[in-house]
Amino acid sequence: GDSVTQMEGPVTLSEEAFLTINCTYTATGYPSLFWYVQYPGEGLQLLLKATKADDKGSNKGFEATYRKETTSFHLEKGSVQVSDSAVYFCALSDLPGNNRLAFGKGNQVVVIP
């Protein structure tokens, strides 16, 4: 079935550092890909999305490019802030016929001043 794999373990980095969170996927069709962010004590919020190969999603300085050849959708930000500390989830929605999102396990990101 459809699945999403995120890199293991939390990510700790200093303010203004470069952030990368890896995400790879397995899908039988042509999925749409998403990154969701969860701030402490809150629900998930859509951060960015890409609906077809080579699309780049971007928001709040974050970017991710839909790479069909490597089945990847890695999240990047050039200069993180303390306020970017959160849990980040990669997800896919595979249509037609699949009425759900498949989520990765999430990565805790901690940005230290």
Partner 1 sequence: EAQVTQNPRYLITVTGKKLTVTCSQNMNHEYMSWYRQDPGLGLRQIYYSMNVEVTDKGDVPEGYKVSRKEKRNFPLILESPSPNQTSLYFCASSSDRGLRALHFGNGTRLTVT
46 binds partner 1 (CB under 8 A): yes
Q: Pick the closer one to partner 1 by CB: 18 or 30.
A: 30
Alpha-carbon gap, residue 52 to 54, rounded angstroms = 6
68 binds partner 1 (CB under 8 A): no
45 binds partner 1 (CB under 8 A): yes
Nearest 5°: CA angle at 102, between 99 and 104?
Answer: 170
> Does residue 102 contact residue 91 with C-beta atoms inside 8 Å?
yes
> Does residue 90 contact residue 38 with C-beta atoms inside 8 Å?
no
Q: Pick the closer one to partner 1 by CB: 97 or 113.
A: 97
> Does residue 95 contact residue 109 with C-beta atoms inside 8 Å?
no
Name which position in 40, 70, 99, 113 contacts partner 1 (CB under 8 A). 99
User: For partner 1, which stretch binds (CB under 8 A), given 20-28, 62-70, 75-83, 94-102?
Assistant: 94-102
Alpha-carbon gap, residue 61 to 36, rounded angstroms = 14
- The binding site for partner 1 (CB under 8 A) comprises 32, 34, 36, 41-46, 49, 51, 89, 93, 95, 99-101, 103-106
